[in-house]
Amino acid sequence: MPGPRGLEHLQVMNLAAGDTRAAIDALRRRYGDAFVFGFGAIRFHWLLGAAANRFVLLEAASAFRNRQAYRFLEPIGGPTALIVSDEPEHMRRRRRVQPAFHRRHLRGWSEQALTAFEGWAEQALERRQLALQPSLRPVVLDLVLDVLLGPGTRARHPGLRDDLAAMMAFANQPFLAQLFRLPVPGLPWWRFTRARVRVDAVLHSEIARRRAAPEADARGGVLSLLLAGAADSPPLSDAEVRDQAVSLVAAGFDTTTAALTWCAFLLCDEALHERLAAAVRGVDPLAASALPEVDALWREAVRLYPPAPAILRISAEPVAWGDLHLPTAALVGLSTFHTHRDPALWREPERPRLERWLAPEGPWAAPRDPFAYLPFGYGARYCIGAGLARTLGGAWLAVMLARARWRTPHPEAVRPLGTTLSPPGGLPLTFERCAV
Ligand code: HEM
């Protein structure tokens, strides 16, 4: 595959360390839609565009695997988490997890989220100025924990939230930094492993408690539903249940916080804010979070700023895509970020436009090709928590649009950065109350 060599390679690596997406842009201009760069464990074969997405995720899906591609997530989620499971185990586990995310739970999640965000909003609006992402992170983590582990769990284990946050802090380091796993007191890996021991102890005690006294309803959260499971598929072991629970928290809370932050960023535009505020005015918050305008804003936020900007796979055999030959064990990167901003697929892709979703026959309509829009992945690997994330997003928007306007000091300087796409400085905002 084409790609930079020698000095150019070093320059690109340097650029990629600060801004991977800028490095991919530069390489795409020079080499087209397929190129390779990086070394060792981070040598990526980037395949860009809707046709590449279709090839890897559908046409040649059976030639690709997840486990080795996402093995950097294993220390947190464990070896049986869905994201690192390959077939046939993946499907067996997914069948057990999927029912816990059924649509019938949406209303309950929405009510929980509205209450939590109303409490958060009162404090935020008192302060008037804050960096949004770090301020939202604990409230989203608490919500995700309540949904996944049941509302009583945080009270029984007060240290759980901080330990999980410490584990996530390790995973949020740049890719290269995560390769340094020195068990030296005070260093990130040491803090990570100590937190993991405590989290595992909590999870195993909760699993034992629920096995002894089953409570297969919303009060026990996803965890109890996992233990109850469906009668038509073999049960999960305790180790599998632990891995699902921890990996769901890890997959869910940072991505969702980032998506809410990007919704807020789009709404720093006064005209867009006014349009959304007018739509929710006088509408019950539960209904407001489901309005088409709110939905369109959410879709635009995760289009322009997909919190999971790349989907990774590794080839299990030699694969040919046209003239292109991938060897066995090639690490493949698909960029949702670049797909969502591809001018061949989207009209004026850099501009947020609700019409892409509100007027499917209009000139701005989103492309019908499912491989042009993949913020939550595709097919058998489609994000299991997409409905939960959307519910939390809708609740936050319903609460905030009814209460406040906000702006950020330098909107033109906001660039999406990091493994989970986030704005610099966590998006500093100034709030102004408006009449409810
Ligand atoms: C805005 C928030 C979120 C975004 C943008 C997002 C994005 C994604 C994407 C792109 C994938 C596909 C990865 C691939 O095919 O390699 C995925 C998979 C997954 N997501 Fe999410 N996600 C979000 C929230 C959540 C939440 C809230 C949960 C759970 C509580 C969750 C759990 C998962 C799991 C378990 C998988 C793996 C599914 C499988 O391989 O079968 N995600 N997510």
Residue 156's alpha-carbon distances to 146, 148, 153, 206, in angstroms, are: 12, 15, 5, 10
Global confidence as pTM? 0.94
Report whether residue 149 contacts ligand 1, using a CB cutoff of 6 Å. no
Q: Does pLDDT of 102 surpass 90? A: no
Q: Does pLDDT of 136 surpass 90? A: yes
The predicted-structure confidence for 345-403, as pLDDT tens digits, reads as follows 999 999 999 999 999 999 999 999 999 999 999 999 999 999 999 999 999 999 999 99
- The pLDDT value given to residue 56: 98
* Residue 401 alpha carbon to ligand 1 centre in Å: 27
The predicted-structure confidence for 54-88, as pLDDT tens digits, reads as follows 999 999 999 999 999 999 899 999 999 999 999 99
The proportion of the chain whose per-residue pLDDT surpasses 70, expressed as a percent, equals 97
Residue 354's alpha-carbon distances to 243, 276, 292, in angstroms, are: 38, 10, 9
The predicted-structure confidence for 361-376, as pLDDT tens digits, reads as follows 999 999 999 999 999 9
Separation of alpha carbons 429 and 406, rounded Å: 6
- The pLDDT value given to residue 114: 95
- Of 66, 384, 420, best ligand 1 pocket probe by most atoms within 8 Å of the beta carbon: 384
Task: Tell me if residue 157 falls in helix, strand or coil.
Answer: coil
Report whether residue 256 contacts ligand 1, using a CB cutoff of 6 Å. yes
Which residues have C-beta within 8 Å of that of residue 412, sequence separation ≥ 6?
Answer: none
- The pLDDT value given to residue 17: 77
Q: Does pLDDT of 205 surpass 70? A: yes
pLDDT band at 418 (very low <50, low <70, confident <90, very high): confident
Separation of alpha carbons 127 and 108, rounded Å: 29
Which neighbouring-strand residues pair with 310?
A: 335
Report whether residue 394 contacts ligand 1, using a CB cutoff of 6 Å. no
- The pLDDT value given to residue 231: 61
Report whether residue 132 contacts ligand 1, using a CB cutoff of 6 Å. no
Amino acid at 107: R
What is the mean pLDDT of the segment spanning 190-204?
94
Residues 338 and 303: beta-carbon distance below 8 Å: no
45-49, 167-171, 363-367: least confidently modelled range = 167-171
Q: Does pLDDT of 126 surpass 60? A: yes
Exposed, middle or buried by CB within 10 Å (0-12, 13-18, 19+), for 13? middle
- Of 247, 297, 376, best ligand 1 pocket probe by most atoms within 8 Å of the beta carbon: 376
Domains and CATH numbers, the chain: 39-433 (1.10.630.10)
- The pLDDT value given to residue 216: 59
- The pLDDT value given to residue 99: 86
Separation of alpha carbons 364 and 356, rounded Å: 5
Separation of alpha carbons 205 and 38, rounded Å: 43
Report whether residue 83 contacts ligand 1, using a CB cutoff of 6 Å. yes
Q: Does pLDDT of 265 surpass 70? A: yes
- Strand bridging mode 44-47 / 331-335: parallel
- The pLDDT value given to residue 230: 62
Tokens of 244: 């699902």
Q: Does pLDDT of 325 surpass 80? A: yes
pLDDT band at 229 (very low <50, low <70, confident <90, very high): low
* Residue 226 alpha carbon to ligand 1 centre in Å: 17
Report whether residue 198 contacts ligand 1, using a CB cutoff of 6 Å. no
* Residue 252 alpha carbon to ligand 1 centre in Å: 7
Report whether residue 9 contacts ligand 1, using a CB cutoff of 6 Å. no
- The pLDDT value given to residue 232: 67
* Residue 82 alpha carbon to ligand 1 centre in Å: 10
Report whether residue 246 contacts ligand 1, using a CB cutoff of 6 Å. no
Q: Does pLDDT of 133 surpass 90? A: yes
Q: Where are the beta strands (DSSP E) in 331-402?
A: 331-335
382-402 per-residue burial string, b: 16 or more CB within 10 A, e: under 16: ebbbebbbbbbbbbbbbbbbb
Separation of alpha carbons 220 and 143, rounded Å: 14
Separation of alpha carbons 138 and 165, rounded Å: 9
pLDDT band at 212 (very low <50, low <70, confident <90, very high): confident
The proportion of the chain whose per-residue pLDDT surpasses 90, expressed as a percent, equals 71
